[in-house]
Structure 1
Amino acid sequence: MWPSCCGIGRTRKTVHLPRHKHPPSPPKTNPKRWTSDLSRITADRFTAWSDPLLNPSIQTWQQALPHGITLSCRACGDKGRPVLMFLHGFPEAAFVWDELLEHFSRPENGGYRCVAPNLRGYEHSSAPTDVKDYRAKFLVQDIAALIEVECGPHQPLAALVAHDWGGAVAWSVANTHHERLCQLVIINSPHPGPFVHAMRNNPAQQAASAYMNFLIQPDAASQLSANGFRKLFGFLRGNDHELSGMHSLTARAAPWLTPELENRYREVWGQGLQGGLNYYRASPLRPPSPKDPGAAAIALPPEMLHIAVPTLVLWAQDDIALLPCLTEGLDQHIPDLKLIPLPGATHWVVHEQNERVISEISAFLKPAVQ
């Protein structure tokens, strides 16, 4: 789960992000070579890898990007088709999208090229050790570069689909690179405007987000890894109150969390948790604490919040960390918004109600492909 858009300054001031045709390069990168290098990303710039636990119909490879980051990717569908890109959250990985990749790549469902990268810091992707490397501008740079690899310099994505922390990146991509996508789909991932407002004014959401202050602790990875990742599995089941911060909650059944899926998560988490935790450490958007004002120190200018592309927001109503209040006021920032609540679903709705998620995305995409 994620604390909304990251990488914003920690002092109480309005922050303006420059708008670039291409995102800024990280340190030690020659920005003049950034665009020209993209033309040289061909078959020799990525390395295929295999995973015996995965569906053989899923293509997997290591995609080198011109600014020095490599993203491990998963895909279905032929190159040259309209592209759907899927971004995962914490503590998940790209594999959570496999059923959607397969579905939307079929000719009867649009025949899209469907691509799901593991974000930086996850599974086989590059995992910088410096927390600063997980600020928003670098996360956006990764996805903008991958879009150019998949679509070329002029064609946009048919849609960017994102959940949780992937949504944090997607909101920023849609704000700063709206020309690179036709539509946006967000699943339980708060827009930074309503999130900052809730962090200042909503005690219930502040309590629901209390786990963020645990995840930034230096020993968070070792605690989460202990006893066979007990705390992380408890979080998936909604019964780890220490992480959720909501002590009155009772555990609920999670029949979607099969032994096979548990093994898949162990495989992913065994690659390391520090990268995913660094997203929280790099972001000031978290509940205030006695030693850290968190989101109370942030002021976001209107231009940083505007989303120009048609946007579908799916919101699981039983999410214990990201409450339905986070959808209030979205229409102030998104002129073309479709908001659909999903009753009876938790934060892990992509697992729980996979068919419903596919159905709603399909209905949203149809006007764009008719």
Structure 2
Amino acid sequence: MHPPASITLERVTLPGASAETAPWLNCRTAGPAGAPVLLFLHGFPEAAFAWDDMLAHFGAHYRCVAPNLRGYDGSHAPEGVAAYKAQEVIGDLIALIQHEGAPVEAVIAHDWGGALAWGLAALAPQLMRKLIILNAPHPGLFLQALRDDPAQQAASSYMNLLREPGVEHRLAADDFRLMWGFFERFGGAAWLTPAWRERYRAAWSATPLAAPGTPAAPSPLTGPLNYYRASPLHPPTSPDDAIHRLQLPEALLHVVVPTRVIWGEADTALPPSLLDGLAQHVPDLQVTRLSGLSHWLVHEDPAAVATAIAHALTH
């Protein structure tokens, strides 16, 4: 057994218009320099520290990098919704991988991080040797479910709440009562100890930062919420909603990278039925199903998740 690797913080400056206006990502890292790189991407309403158990575990043999995504605690957090379109955030990830030395051994991603990783793997497969997805639906299958499946529309109804202008104030009210609800609604959150609550409370309260000359997001929650506002994928709100006409380009759907999907089958927001038909988009696919674990599987059973990731890395 190797001792857990220590975790350090690194601010990685990304290529930009100039050195003064370049965006940056606040990263948590572990493991030896020069080792194969694992890139961990978090989701909403989380932060890079959600991967700490994985960084400590895999840092014995890999260089592990977990960025706070654009808009999250300590990373570049511009104000406008357009700055959170997929191509902008994927651009951050491409720059980060190039900084680390492409290709990385694997991109390991959950929730919104997974949504970005699907696009990254489709557009730039040369940047990774493997893609490991945890409870994040393929965009083509998710579009179909949001458009046609009433059960998925109901399960994803929270997405339309998160798109509302000014909802930041409601989410932050009463000590983030509605934010805790995302954990509790989609998994029971027995893991959500006072120590974890304090870490999340601090992340959701951190002052947003942006490069000089770039307006920063007005609230710590604005950047994370802007992912939802910028995305065309959400349950329809009317019969003529644009999602009924949305067609995603094939370039965003076909993934040639060897892909390993790990799915907590007790996820009520993203049920395992979203895996049906995945092989038509991902020819080199293996799926590991973890019964009894929910959307928050990384928190609920980190040992089981680490075992599944280790298997995905070696098979």
Per the normalisation by structure 1, the TM-score is: 0.77
Deviations 1:55-106, CA, capped at 9 Å, x for gaps: 9921102111112211000000111110000000000000000110111111
Distance between the aligned counterparts of 1:194 and 1:313, measured in 2?
14
Deviates more, 1:69-78 or 1:302-311: 302-311
Kept in 2: contact 1:190–1:326 (CA 8 A):
yes
1:144 aligns to 2:94 (yes or no): yes
Report 1:359-370 matches (<5 A). 359-367=307-315
Task: Give 2:154's aligned amino acid.
Answer: A
What residue is the counterpart of 1:22 in the other structure? none
- Is the partner of 2:292 in helix, strand or coil? coil
What residue is the counterpart of 1:286 in the other structure? 234
Report 1:205-284 matches (<5 A). 205-238=152-185, 253-271=188-206, 272-284=220-232
Task: Give 1:265's aligned amino acid.
Answer: Y
Kept in 2: contact 1:199–1:296 (CA 8 A):
no
Distance between the aligned counterparts of 1:290 and 1:352, measured in 2?
37
| CA RMSD, Structure 1 to Structure 2 (Å) | 1.6
Deviations 1:223-249, CA, capped at 9 Å, x for gaps: 11000001111221117xxxxxxxxxx
Kept in 2: contact 1:215–1:277 (CA 8 A):
yes
| Unmatched tracts of structure 2, length 5 or more | 17-21, 207-219
User: Sequence identity, in percent?
Assistant: 49
What residue is the counterpart of 1:63 in the other structure? 12
Deviations 1:276-296, CA, capped at 9 Å, x for gaps: 000000011101002871422
2:266 to 311, 318, 326: 318
Kept in 2: contact 1:285–1:294 (CA 8 A):
no
Deviations 1:37-69, CA, capped at 9 Å, x for gaps: xxxxxxxxxxxxxxxxxx992110211111221
Distance between the aligned counterparts of 2:248 and 2:309, measured in 1?
30
Larger radius of gyration: 1
1:88 to 25, 42, 54: 42
Distance between the aligned counterparts of 1:325 and 1:333, measured in 2?
15
Per the normalisation by structure 2, the TM-score is: 0.90
Distance between the aligned counterparts of 1:291 and 1:297, measured in 2?
11
1:114 aligns to 2:64 (yes or no): yes
1:79 aligns to 2:33 (yes or no): yes
- Is the partner of 2:129 in helix, strand or coil? coil
When the two structures are aligned, how many residues end up with a matched partner? 294
Distance between the aligned counterparts of 1:99 and 1:295, measured in 2?
38
Kept in 1: contact 2:132–2:259 (CA 8 A):
yes
Distance between the aligned counterparts of 1:95 and 1:60, measured in 2?
10
